[in-house]
Structure 1
Amino acid sequence: MVRTRIAVALAAVALTTAGVATAVATGHGSAVDVRPAAASVPQFDHIVLVMFENKKYSSINGSSSAPYFNSLASQGAKFTQSFAITHPSQPNYVALFSGSPQGIVDDTCPANLGSKANLGQQLIGASRTFKGYSEAMPSDGYTGCSSGTYRRKHNSWVDFSNVPASSNVRYSTFPSDFTQLPTVAFVTPDMCDDMHDCSIGTGDTWLKAHLDGYAQWAKAHNSLLIVTFDEDSGTSVNQIFTVFVGASVKVGTYNESINHYTVLRTIEASYGLPGLGNAASKSPILDVWQ
């Protein structure tokens, strides 16, 4: 009888300890989640990735200036150890799109990268679709370096000749019927709304006004929203705020180290595509999926 009670007590302690460890690892401190990581990334009908500018993680996380960013984080998977690749902006955009900065070290425009492999080319070659939506770009297919508050340095897909001009479009053409979105869409706000030239609050308001509808729709329509930053505010740490919100996402805080290559690899894995460049050596994110 005594031995039985001891055995039961030890088993209870073991289960409690395991549960606490899992809760800490996943960020679910009050609700223990003992489910294992998914075996693969879900194949989403649509993925929309939005890139903001030049803010370190601590400037967004918990900030009263970014209530919507933090609201999104509470609805999805927040990554507390997410990092950009380098400084300044342009090589990060190129790295996220192609698995490498492709030798780019500054914001010099134009960066003509020819037919080097990239995510847009991968998707189109696999009978999927890709579009990049740039706010304030003056016309679809535009290849100029700047116009008003638009900057080509934040539009990496235009740098590759194997991504058709029809994939390079104005944000004003972003569909209100989200079923009409391409398989993968990248969204670039203009130089004010992306926080480069304007405040965190400006970017926060823009994100809520323009993409909350998609974020809520995605949860029930096998789709995903990724919100991230190109780089931090110029520090050597280069830690950025990154959130996944949508279908199949386990709400929580995740502390594995990820970067732009990890995000690229995760998008590729959703559609059975091989990793490009430095993304090939990254494992896709698996622990955030139900």
Structure 2
Amino acid sequence: MLFKKLLSISMAVLATASTVQAAPTSKVTAAVAGQAFDHVFMIFLENTDYALAYSDPSFQSLLSSGILLNNYHALTHPSEPNYIASIAGSYYGVNNDGTYNFDSSYTSIVNLLEAKGLTWKTYQESMPSVCYTDSSYKSLYYRKHNPFISHQYISTNAARCKNVVPSTQLTTDLNNNALPNYSFFTPNIKNDGHDTTVGYAGKWLVNFLSPLLKNPAFISNTLVVVTFDEAEDYTDETNHVLALLLGDSVSSLKNTVDSTYYTHYSLLSTLESNWGLGNLGRGDVNKQLSNVFSFVAAKTGYQNVNVTNPPPLN
């Protein structure tokens, strides 16, 4: 009942690639420095319970390369509100996978990044063109998995919307040593496991990441975050999903486990802490839901909390 009441309040507020090829080795352009990493590259996969993802051979093969977050949680159901929350600190009461156009009063991580002079881009696999606004394309790209295009201060602003790009742009950016500080990568609906299986998604992920993790233009002081938008089991009030931290920014912590309680809001608070971005004043400042990834908190002095009674997240 508490969740329903919170959702009702949120609704009232609302009313007011294909595998990337490795680039040639060359000098990497300097990025705006963070305290723990200079680049973040996030990959969202779809609708998988923690236990199923953890048992998959492809995901098992990645565990030795980074940090397993074994107490990481999605925020709600279905998919789209989780994507929105991961960049905005709120899902604005959204409880479906509809088409939304939030006006310019709805801010996100983009506002914080731009205010500090950091670069950003979202790479959307199978999206046909830059700033594509239709709901889907060839049953592979789906707008519901692209939270940036739902914000009008991005979709109606040419300078910003040029950063909403097909995933093929990633190869060009790496060849030009132009990886943004912040990258959000959405695989198409087959490669993310939505219309296939976790095994299919895991094999795609390993094939996709293998060349990138060896590419100096990609990996230089980069944090790679791989997680799932939500659990498949709607009856699981913890909404427990697997998350992995990879990249050379965590190279000294390979094959370790971080059991701190995290949610998608932790993605925001971690970035805010790393670059001193300030905050959005939403879920990213809810101490029960926004612990900063421990290796970052250790470098920035952020004090995480021990969450012993988390709220229902389904």
- 1:10-52 deviations in whole A, cap 9, x for unaligned? xxxxxxxxxxxxxxxxxxxxxxxxxxxxxxx734221100000
In the aligned structure 1, how far is the partner of 2:215 from the partner of 2:206? 13
Contact 1:133–1:185 under 8 Å retained in 2: yes
Contact 1:178–1:214 under 8 Å retained in 2: no
| 2:222 paired residue number | 223
TM-score (structure 1 length as normaliser): 0.79
Contact 1:216–1:246 under 8 Å retained in 2: no
Deviation for aligned residue 1:248: 3.4
Aligned equivalent of 2:72, options 46, 61, 82: 82
Unaligned 5+ segments in structure 2 are 1-33, 155-159, 300-314
Q: Residue type of the partner of 2:233?
A: G
Deviation for aligned residue 1:285: 1.8
What secondary structure sits across from 1:180 in the alignment? coil
| 1:120 paired residue number | 110
Deviation for aligned residue 1:286: 2.5
1:156 aligns with 2:147: yes
- 1:208-248 deviations in whole A, cap 9, x for unaligned? 22222223447962111000010010332311010111233
What secondary structure sits across from 1:226 in the alignment? strand
Specify whether residues 191 and 247 from structure 1 end up closer, same or farther in structure 2 by C-alpha distance, changes over 3 A only: same
1:48 aligns with 2:41: yes
Deviation for aligned residue 1:167: 1.3
- 1:68-121 deviations in whole A, cap 9, x for unaligned? x22222211101111100000000000001100012111011x11122110122
| 1:286 paired residue number | 294
In the aligned structure 1, how far is the partner of 2:80 from the partner of 2:166? 19
Unaligned 5+ segments in structure 1 are 1-40
1:254 aligns with 2:258: yes
| 1:243 paired residue number | 244
| 2:202 paired residue number | 204
Specify whether residues 248 and 45 from structure 1 end up closer, same or farther in structure 2 by C-alpha distance, changes over 3 A only: closer
Q: Residue type of the partner of 2:183?
A: A
| 1:232 paired residue number | 231
Q: Residue type of the partner of 2:95?
A: V
| 1:102 paired residue number | 92
Specify whether residues 83 and 178 from structure 1 end up closer, same or farther in structure 2 by C-alpha distance, changes over 3 A only: farther
Aligned equivalent of 2:122, options 132, 142, 155: 132
Identity of aligned residues (%): 30
- What is the aligned-residue RMSD (CA, Å)? 1.9
Q: Residue type of the partner of 2:101?
A: N
How many residues of Structure 1 are paired with residues of Structure 2 in the alignment? 246
Deviation for aligned residue 1:162: 2.3
TM-score (structure 2 length as normaliser): 0.74
In the aligned structure 2, how far is the partner of 1:212 from the partner of 1:153? 27
What secondary structure sits across from 2:69 in the alignment? strand
What secondary structure sits across from 1:264 in the alignment? helix
Contact 1:274–1:280 under 8 Å retained in 2: no
What secondary structure sits across from 2:86 in the alignment? helix
What secondary structure sits across from 1:248 in the alignment? helix
Contact 2:48–2:232 under 8 Å retained in 1: yes
Match runs of 1:8-47 below 5 Å:
42-47=35-40
| 1:180 paired residue number | 178
Aligned equivalent of 1:189, options 187, 198, 213: 187
| 2:24 paired residue number | none
Deviation for aligned residue 1:269: 1.6
Contact 2:49–2:240 under 8 Å retained in 1: yes
